[in-house]
A = this chain, B = another copy of it.
Amino acid sequence: MSDRVREILSWYGSDNPGTRANLARLLTHGTLGGTGRLVILPVDQGFEHGPARSFAPNPPGYHPHYHFELAIDAGCNAYAAPLGFIEAGAAEFAGRIPLILKLNNHDLLHDDKDPLPSVTGSVRDALRLGCAAVGYTIYPGSAHCTTMYQQLREISEEAKAHGLAVVVWSYPRGSQLSKEGETGVDVVAYAAQIACQLGAHVVKVKLPTAHLEQAAAKKVYESLQVPIKTLAERVRHVVQSSFDGRRIVIFSGGPKSEDKVFFDEVRAIRDGGGFGSIIGRNSFQRPKAEALKFLQTVMGIYAGEIP
């Protein structure tokens, strides 16, 4: 076990050895295993955006095994998905890659400015399916945030008692936030902090823009000249906002984009001290051979092999 992994595990001293072992599994598996960086494949878009929008661009993705295989072949640290997708492959791929069971999900057939995802799985499901962690999405800013935070609290307590790790997707959204504000650096940093304070072991946020949403926060950023000009600076700020870097913070890839742009974002995450990426659509919405090459480049950047 590398010194870096040991160091990261040392931040979780309140957790039992079971949870630490599962964090270790996430950190030591795959191509980036041992570097302290992670690339995770998440596939919840079938639920979140609908099947055609998710899988029609690369139809093999309709098949649940495709994503297990993609994550394994690409050397990802873990594969994250909702109950159905995990159930549809957990037996066939048992022991091949750490799994993260997404325990809540939201669809677009009924959308809301203040969304409240549904709890769609349990800690017991995660155990019977052999998962290393549970995942849960909160929407800080939603009028329903209280329900979400409290559901997370219960899930988290049960997960930790049973030796699982807790990964929190923290996506600001709600009637009091502007569209731009959802990725404003003050808001993203705040969302990361909330996830950490709720007891997350791993936090997933979107890449922050230089936008500042909250008037009161804006004053502080400006008067104290918090450096947020470059993406790397903003990543650094979000990491700092996550217990000064003592929680694992990873960044989501967002919709499929230009590779060059994407790789530059990965460089910024790396240089800003981010722990890695969780890359769904940019991975599974292209032919597998291309996806493997793409992820190889991402991992190369994180590993420092590609500048």
Task: Please list the residues of chain A having a beta carbon within 8 angstroms of any beta carbon in chain B.
Answer: 1, 5, 9, 11, 13-25, 27-28, 46-47, 49-53, 55-57, 59, 62-64, 82-88, 90-92, 94-96, 105, 107-112, 114, 116-122, 124-125, 127-131, 140-143, 145-146, 149-150, 153, 157, 161-163, 172, 174, 176-177, 186-187, 189-194, 196-200, 214, 216-217, 220-221, 224, 226, 237, 240-241, 243-244, 246-247
Q: Across the interface, which residues of B come within 8 angstroms of A119, CB to CB?
A: 149-150, 153
Q: Across the interface, which residues of B come within 8 angstroms of A51, CB to CB?
A: 189-190, 192-193, 240-241
A11 with B88, Cβ < 8 A, contacts A52-B241, A129-B18, A153-B120 known: yes
Do B125 and A157 touch across chains, with their CB atoms under 8 A apart?
A: yes
Q: Across the interface, which residues of B come within 8 angstroms of A56, CB to CB?
A: 220-221, 224, 226
A129 with B17, Cβ < 8 A, contacts A110-B142, A118-B150 known: yes
Do B13 and A83 touch across chains, with their CB atoms under 8 A apart?
A: no
Q: How far is the CB of A150 from chain B (nearest CB, A)?
A: 5
Q: Across the interface, which residues of B come within 8 angstroms of A149, CB to CB?
A: 105, 118-120
Do B83 and A176 touch across chains, with their CB atoms under 8 A apart?
A: no
Q: Across the interface, which residues of B come within 8 angstroms of A49, CB to CB?
A: 216
Do B64 and A109 touch across chains, with their CB atoms under 8 A apart?
A: no
* CB-defined A-B contacts under 8 Å, sample of 25: A1-B96, A13-B90, A14-B129, A16-B16, A20-B95, A24-B96, A50-B189, A50-B193, A52-B226, A56-B221, A57-B220, A63-B244, A82-B197, A83-B153, A84-B200, A85-B197, A107-B140, A109-B141, A109-B191, A117-B146, A118-B149, A120-B197, A121-B199, A122-B153, A127-B161
